[in-house]
Structure 1
């Protein structure tokens, strides 16, 4: 009897791999960027983030009351490069 190969487990999303590569190439870790932005947005709840590997940017999502703000930050510097309107 031949045993079937065993799956190694779930694969990380492609964006996560790219983000990790970008940090190795000089970018800042997401957790560091998130912590800085949490401190600079008092009164907001941090909801999460997405990574755009082509642009090297993170989109951070914050909420205060019923309004949600998306802040786009550069993955190398952590500085704001854009902001989506509140909804």
Structure 2
């Protein structure tokens, strides 16, 4: 499965920057922003600003089976990078 990666940087409530990738099977930036907001809500950061400035298309790639299954189930996968809470 070819997926699309949206590089995302948002400010947390305490002011630090969280860097994560939104990975989805759609190259739709608005959907990626919606997915980012949905995930941020699950970690208590629903007030974080997410626009096309914070979340933008980066590249397309193939992913391992477990990520593909998550995308097929949820529509997206979040790859936590820097400043994100651990899983």
Task: Indicate the TM-score class for this superposition, using the shorter chain for normalisation.
Answer: 0.3 to 0.5
Which of these two proteins has the greater Rg computed from alpha carbons? 1
> Bigger relative contact order, structure 1 or 2, given CA contacts below 8 A and separation 6+?
2
TM-score, with normalisation over the residues of structure 1?
A: 0.34
